[in-house]
Structure 1
Amino acid sequence: MTLRRQIMSARPAVVRHPSRFAPAIFELLNPIPYGLFVGTLIFDVTYMTTRNVFWGKGAAWLVTAGLIIAIIPRLLNLGHVWIQRRRAVSCIGKMDFWLNLVAIIAAIANALVHSRDAYAMVPENVVLSVVTVALLSIAHIAMAMDRLDLAEAAHE
């Protein structure tokens, strides 16, 4: 064996540790769209009952801001669930991804409904807001229950 091969074989293998930055950014940004979509639902219901244009315009801004801010956590979640294969992803993690994706599609449809004139957006805006918030609520509850199960398993 040559000296070069001996040196090459003596090098330690590079161990890649998972990034801590991406999960931190995900955990920071993931709840923000949920809050904005809940606000959209509240504004939509208020607009439906009062017919005050302020609430309709506010809901349109909230759903748009929620969609813009939802981009980064969803891309990080896409990388964690489907692209990165360092560790196994649970069934709950995949379900969370799909529920969030369908909720974002409903929110995009809701943003398009909010582009209508005045009261023409009612009742579709309320229905789409309820669908968006319900899907995100189910996803957040499932992930919280999954984390709770992991934490209980770590204590045993």
Structure 2
Amino acid sequence: MSYRPAPRRSVVANAIYGLFNPLPFGFFVAALIFDVVYDRSGEILWMKGAAWLIVIGLLFAIIPRLVNLVQVWITSRRTTVATERFDFWLNLIAIAVAVINAFVHSRDAYAVMPAGVWLSALTVLLLAVAHIVIATQPTTPGNLA
């Protein structure tokens, strides 16, 4: 009987993922807050700020998703847990919703509401559920860093 240890993930990739993964969530939460303030006040500055926050959040979302794509679907397919795949899909759907939201925010200021608030809320909800899924994932030898 031979024991073959599970392949470890790259320490550098884990560091990059850990550094960049929380950033998009913060930008999208801030965009949701800006959308709600704009909806209540009508001051166009808040809508423009939300549009910028969404774009910056999308730019920061690319790096951890690429690392996650390689780790979950390419290099360690045998050792990935179903929750990691579920997290990947939730994040991917959230990014797709955020892209649609960026296009909605490119409209004239008064045409953004109420779709901008709903899309921002859906993006934040999907990312929050993804973070909860990963946080409640049991620790297995394959996903230790």
TM > 0.5: yes
After TM superposition, the runs of 4+ consecutive aligned structure 1 residues lying more than 6 A away are none
Q: CA deviation at 1:19?
A: 1.6
Specify whether residues 118 and 87 from structure 1 end up closer, same or farther in structure 2 by C-alpha distance, changes over 3 A only.
Answer: same
What's the TM-score once normalised by structure 1's chain length? 0.82
Instruction: Name the residue aligned to 2:82.
Output: 91
Structure 2 residue ranges without an equivalent (≥5): 1-6, 141-145
Partner in structure 2 of residue 8 of structure 1: none
Deviations 1:35-92 (A, max 9, x none): 0000010000110110001100000000000000100000000001111137511010
* Greater relative contact order (CA < 8 Å, ≥ 6 in sequence): 2
Deviation string, structure 1 residues 69-124 (Cα, Å, up to 9, x no partner): 10000000000111113751101000000000000000000000000011101000
Whole-angstrom CA distance in 2 between matches of 1:88 and 1:18? 10
> Which of 89, 94, 104 is equivalent to 1:103?
94
In the TM superposition, 1:33-48 aligns within 5 A as 33-48=24-39
CA distance in 1: counterparts of 2:40 and 2:131, whole angstroms: 29
Structure with higher Rg: it is 1
What's the CA shift string for 1:97-155, capped at 9, x where partnerless? 00000000000000000000111010000010011000000000110111xx328xxxx
What TM-score results when the alignment is normalised by the length of structure 2?
A: 0.88
Q: What is aligned with 1:59?
A: 50
Structure 1: unaligned runs, 5 residues or longer: 1-15, 152-156
**Would you say how many aligned residue pairs link Structure 1 and Structure 2?**
134
Query: Counterpart amino acid of 2:108?
Result: D
Quote the sequence identity (%): 52
Residue matched to 2:112: 121
Q: Calculate the aligned-residue CA RMSD, in Å.
A: 1.4
Give, in angstroms, the shift of residue 18 of structure 1.
3.5
User: What is aligned with 1:78?
Assistant: 69
SS at match of 1:105: helix
